[in-house]
Amino acid sequence: MGTATRQQEVLEELRRQIHRIERRPARREGYLASGRPEVDALLPDGGFPRGALSALSGGPASGKTGVALSALREAQAGGALAAYVDGRGELYPPAALALGVDLARLLIVRPERGPPRGARDRDRDRDRGARDGALPGLWAAEVLLASGAFAAVAIDVPLHDLPAARAEAMLRRLRAAAEKGGAAALLLAAPGGPAIPAALRLDLDGARLRPALRAVGGEEDDRGA
Amino acid sequence: MAPERRAPRVLALVVPALPLQRILRTRPSAGPLGVVSEGVVHHANAPALAAGVRPGDSLVQARAACAAMSAEPLDPAADRSALRALAEALMGLAPAVELAPPDALFLDAAGARLAGSDAEASERTLAERVLGICRHMGYQGRVAVADGKAVSLALARHAGRERTRVAPGEGALSLSSLPLEALDLPAEVARWLSAVGIDRVGALAALPAETLAHRFGAAGSAAGRLARGEDSRPLVPFAPETFPHERWDLDGSDVGVLSSTEPLLFAVKRLADRVAARLAGRGLGASRLRLTLFLDPRGEERVDLPLARPGAEAALWLVPLRERLGGLRLPAPVRGLDLAVVEAAEVHAEQLAVGDRPEVARALDVALSRLSARLGDGSIFAAESADRHRPESAYRAGPFRRASADRCAMPGEEAPPSGRPTRLVDPPRPVVALGEGGRLTSLRVEGKARSVLAISGPERLAGEWWSEPFDRDYYRARLEGLGELWIYRDGRDGRLWIHGFFD
């Protein structure tokens, strides 16, 4: 009798798991090529990990956006969707098109000026001093990553404008959302910002004639150079 | 001689005691209740019937039988709205739906045969689906499929079963045992027939046609034809004139006034399900909704909800509605709700591309709805190239549609210009340049002078003389410690500006 009851419990649990799986998009596994051989050569396993957060760190003209766009182009292979959270409002889509990104399958999220609609008063108090694009952009990135509908999401928000502790907490949520949804999350970060809980960090320096690339792998926080 | 028109196959749906059912949708556990007009009880619910109230009783008699009975006024306008709402929800099932007030609808059942070679099975499936939608909208109905409107309506009302189907050509036989009142005859005809002892449809059908024509003229002839199941009248299709909306007055219902988000969402869900069903029936999808919350004792709060994609799936509306309601601070409890479609568009069943999975499509729809509700319509888009020389106008924001995301670039589409920065600053930033011997040697950027390591250009971009003329010479400048910038010299005043970064 006990064995039959136990079997029934196991069956029920399996049914629940199957139901959960069937209701969610399948997770992606593996790595996403950057689309640039010189970058892939530096990355462990030859690409950005799917289902994880990677950081592309560099100054305003370091080349990190170009690397992210090339990776989004690779992600779109096979008809998948990609997204770019443009918290600074600076992405120039014609350049993305020139790099081979399919604009019809690239969702661009560019939060409008002003605090997020529907924010409760206490959130508004905590956000005092935060730039318009940071929190809404991070929230949008979390929604996109957790959905599982996108193969890759690039995130460019002004992290410097948030208190460090708040930014780090939001970034941990992004990491969790990437793990849940299976997308490759690519955070574009300026040097010296908050600690980023990235599985991989790529430092770019476009100041010299030949870009200097440095890839750092690891799970724990690693402040930008 | 014109060929005789055959009676069309018609499904009649009757909602018994529609006025009572409409009220009980929001008060399912009400005590004794009667629907009253001009002092007469028209309908009574089960507790009232059990207490001895009967339709046709005066209000005084009803109260004598059941002192606790609450009297709700008959509201023909509300009942007509309810019937129209039901018709909307059913429009997707048949080529034509006709209103037959006060409590019935006709659907063209001829199309059911197209769904499969077995006409009987197809008509039974249609009947099941009609009853299912009826229940979804909160009503219990009865259906009958037969030749012609009169036969199907008579059977739906009087056959005593939830579902009735009569094979083609057997209408007269099916009617024969029904009471005369099933035909809804003119009063004078009905009185005479009753006086001569004819109380069944079959007996009327047996009367010679000349006798009825001689006694009552055209009305008599028509009565005879109905009794013989001859009714070739076509359906008059219902065409809704407005977008659907559903309202629920909570005060006085089983729910009562609401003060917190979760119960409010539950109530909104019920309205959303019905509005979505009505839209789906019309082949429409909502692209903007308006939820009005009526506050207790007065005042209202309005929530406008743009949707990322037109759709008629209530579950997708609830995601952004939850976001918006969660952020609301209501000054008073809510005593009523109204959910209305403000904008709608035709929606067509989308073919999923090879490799598409429905769960991915649904997850995308949910994500887009949440983003649109929280950040605003204009915050999410797909960029489209624009044929403009002014760099900041070389693209425009268009809607991000899942269907168009399957489109590949068509041959012949213009290739984008090369040499464009990945980041464009808006507005352009002024920059101070230092030069030597006519050569640009350094730029002051972000408060610091940086040497120019390399420079290429110019690329002249100019135009739009008819509106906002511009004249710029663009350069790519690599700066020490920074990288490559896109700068331009304005031809109108010679000033230098940073327009982008090759990041």
| Partners of residue A117 in chain B, C-beta under 8 Å | 324, 327, 373-376
Task: Give the model's pLDDT for residue B409.
Answer: 45
Neighbouring CB atoms inside 10 A of B490's CB total 15
Is pLDDT of B164 > 60?
yes
Query: What pLDDT, on the 0 to 100 scale, is given for residue A109?
Result: 96
Which of A32-36, A131-135, B107-111, B140-144 is least confident? A131-135
Pick from B357, B370, B422: which is nearest to A92 by CB? B422
Tell me whether residues B421 and A143 touch, CB distance under 8 A. no
Flag if B379 and A109 touch (Cβ within 8 Å): yes
* CB nearest B424 (choices: A64, A66, A90): A90
pLDDT (0 to 100) of residue B424: 96
Domains and CATH numbers, chain A: 30-217 (3.40.50.300)
Task: Mark which residues 4-23 of A lie under 8 Å from B by CB.
Answer: 22-23
Half-sphere exposure of A10 (CA within 13 A, CB side): 6
Establish if B99 touches chain A: CB-CB under 8 angstroms.
no
**Sequence-separated (6 or more) residues with CB below 8 Å from residue B487:** B431, B443, B474, B475, B477, B496, B497, B498, B499
Task: Give chain B positions within 8 Å (CB) of A151.
Answer: none
Q: Which secondary-structure segment (H or E) carries B304?
A: strand B300-311
Region of poorest pLDDT, from B99-103, B114-118, B123-127, B296-300 = B114-118
Whether A94 sits inside 8 A of B395 (CB atoms) is yes
> In degrees to the nearest 10, what's the CA dihedral of A211, A212, A218, A221?
-90
SS3 A89: coil
A39 touches chain B (CB under 8 A): no
Residue pLDDT, tens place only, A146-184: 999 999 999 999 998 888 888 999 999 999 999 999 999
**How confident is the model at residue B405, as a pLDDT?**
46
- Full set of structural domains in chain B with CATH: 9-31+68-227 (3.30.70.270), 245-373 (3.30.1490.100), 423-501 (no CATH)
Chain B environment of A207 (Cβ under 8 Å) = 479-483
Residues in A closer than 8 angstroms to B370, CB to CB, are: 143
The length of chain B is 503
- Closest by CA position to B149, among listed B125, B175, B131, B126: B175
Task: Name the strand (E) or helix (H) holding B108.
Answer: strand B104-108
Q: What is the per-residue pLDDT for A119?
A: 46
Contact A149 B363 (CB under 8 A): yes
Q: Is the pLDDT of residue B410 over 50?
A: no
Per DSSP, what are the bridge partners of residue A215? A202
Residue in A69, A97, A112 to test binding to B, most B beta-carbons within 10 Å: A97
**Among A18, A24, A107, A135, which would you mutate to test the B interface (most chain B Cβ atoms within 10 Å of its Cβ)?**
A107
Could you say which residues from 159 to 178 on chain A have a Cβ atom under 8 Å away from some Cβ of chain B? Answer: none
φ and ψ at residue B319, rounded to 5 degrees: -65, -55
Per-residue tokens: B34 = 């009667």
pLDDT at A32 (0 to 100): 93
List pLDDT tens digits, range B332-346: 999 999 999 998 888
Distance from CA of B393 to the nearest CA of A (A): 10
Q: What is the pLDDT of residue A131?
A: 43
Closest CA to A164 of A136, A199, A141, A189: A189
pLDDT of residue B59: 93
Q: What is the DSSP letter of B87?
A: H
- Does B254 score more than 60 pLDDT? yes
pTM greater than 0.80 (yes/no): no
The whole-angstrom distance between B439's CA and the closest CA on chain A is 20
Predicted local distance difference test score (pLDDT) of residue A108: 97
pLDDT above 50: residue A128: no
Mean pLDDT of B208-222: 84
- Which residues does residue B478 pair with via DSSP β-bridges, in sequence order? B454, B484
More confident call, B331 vs A84: A84
Per-residue confidence (pLDDT) for residue A183, from 0 to 100: 94
Q: Answer whether A61 sits within 8 Å of B371, measured CB to CB.
A: no
Residue with the two structure tokens 């037959």: B100
A81/B contact by beta carbon, under 8 A: yes
- The per-residue DSSP string of B366-405 comes to HHHHHHHHHH-GGGEEEEEE---SSGGGSEEEE---TTGG
Per DSSP bridges, beta strands A184-189 and A52-57 are: parallel
Per-residue confidence (pLDDT) for residue A209, from 0 to 100: 38
Please report the pLDDT score of residue A225 as a whole number. Answer: 34
Alpha carbon distance B397, B107 (integer Å) = 44
Candidate from B142-146, B217-221, B496-500 with smallest mean pLDDT = B217-221
Task: Compare A225 and B4 and report the one with higher pLDDT.
Answer: B4
Rounded-to-integer distance, Cα A64 and Cα A156, Å: 10
Q: What digits encode the pLDDT tens for the residues B36-75?
A: 999 999 999 999 999 999 999 999 999 999 999 999 999 9
Least-confidence region, from A54-68, A192-206, B272-286? A192-206
Given A59, A69, A102, which is nearest B422 (Cβ)? A69
Residue B100 confidence (pLDDT): 94
CB contact (8 A) between residue A139 and residue B374: yes
Residue pLDDT, tens place only, B431-467: 988 877 667 889 988 788 899 999 998 999 988 887 7
CB B83 within 8 A of CB B70: no
Which chain A residues touch B316 with a CB distance below 8 Å?
none
Q: In B69-170, where does DSSP find H-type helix?
A: 76-90, 119-136, 149-158
Please say if the pLDDT value at position A212 is more than 90.
no
pLDDT computed for residue B158 by the predictor: 93
Helices (H), B2-147: 18-24, 46-50, 59-65, 76-90, 119-136
Mutation target to probe the B interface, by most B beta carbons within 10 A, among A28, A73, A92 is A92
Whether A79 sits inside 8 A of B426 (CB atoms) is: no
Q: What is the pLDDT of residue B289?
A: 92
Contact of B117 with chain A, judged by CB distance below 8 Å, is answered with: no
Mean pLDDT over the full length of chain B:
87
ipTM of the complex in this document: 0.79
Residues of B in contact with A140 (CB under 8 A): 371, 375, 379
Q: Which residues from chain A sit within 8 angstroms of residue B383, using beta carbons?
A: 93, 96-97, 103, 106, 108
Residue of chain A minimizing CA distance to B451: A207
Q: B370: burial class by Cβ within 10 Å (0-12, 13-18, 19+)?
A: buried
**Contact assessment for residue B74 and residue B19, using Cβ atoms and an 8 Å cutoff:** yes
Mean pLDDT value across residues A77-102: 94
The residue that leads in pLDDT, B193 or B4, is B193
The per-residue pLDDT for A68 is 97
| Residue B395 pLDDT greater than 70, yes or no | yes
Q: Which residues, numbered 357 to 376 in chain B, qualify as contacts with chain A under a Cβ-Cβ cut-off of 8 Å?
A: 357, 359-361, 363-364, 366-368, 370-371, 373-376
Say how many residues make up chain A.
225
Q: Give the closest residue to A152 by CA, choosing from A49, A83, A93.
A: A83
Alpha carbons within 13 A on the beta-carbon side of B290: 13
Give yes or no for residue A133 having a pLDDT over 70. Answer: no
**B257-296 burial, b for 16+ CB within 10 Å, e for fewer?**
bbeeeeebbebbbbbbbbbbbbbbbbebbbbbbebbbbbb
Taking the CA of residue B455 as centre, how many other CA atoms within 13 Å lie in the half-sphere pointing to its CB? 18
Whole-angstrom Cα distance, residue B170 to residue B70? 45
